[in-house]
Amino acid sequence: MLPMEQAKRPITGMAGRYGHPLHPALVAVPIGAWVASFVFDLASQVVSDPAALATGSRWLIAVGVLGALAAATIGLLDLLGLPTGTRVFRTAIVHMSLMLTVVTAYAVGFALRDPDPTGPVPAGLLALSAAALATLTAGAYLGGMLAYRYGVRVADETTQADGYQPLSTDVKES
């Protein structure tokens, strides 16, 4: 099997079947949770009852960390299917390293947050979340490069071509 074909096939069904990888779907949970937590962090600075938002942000961070662990497990399965010594493998290693840094930063931030806050999120924790979110953006960019530029776990062009065949003459388009 050619290296590019190898990168398109799952090494196990746990990573999703051919043409339907699970990793890109799973990353929506941590990304959404962490973006929402940052919005809560910022809002806690300006509302009259910041404790509720600070508490909500802490739990959104926890949801994000748990979701990221699930996404990372499946992402590792995809990584194991990539040919070593290639640009795509190197990009995947950098992507993974950035994302593990992000998960670590959020886990530390969760641990440092007061479980029963009485005020807004402290500036240092707000800065940690901002830095983690910036790193997340860089890592997500590389994840997009893996899928959209290098086609990791994306169906090959022969399979994709089926979607571009004309509809039969029996079916009228509306």
CA atoms of 150 and 61, how far apart (whole Å)? 31
Check residue 149 and report its DSSP letter: I
- Tokens, residue 149: 């530029």
- 132-145 residues labelled b (16+ CB within 10 A) or e (exposed): bbeebeebbebbeb
Residue-level pLDDT at 72: 97
Profile the chain (174 residues) by mean pLDDT over runs of 10 residues. Answer: 76 78 94 98 97 98 98 95 94 98 98 97 98 98 95 85 81 58
37, 21 Cβ separation under 8 angstroms: no
What is the per-residue pLDDT for 174? 54
Q: Which 8-state DSSP code applies to residue 46? A: T
Candidates 33, 46, 45, 31; CA nearest to 127 is 45
Please give the pLDDT value at position 11.
Answer: 75
**What pLDDT is recorded for position 49?**
94
Q: What pLDDT shows up at residue 169?
A: 66
Please, are residues 81 and 7 in contact by the beta-carbon 8 Å criterion?
yes
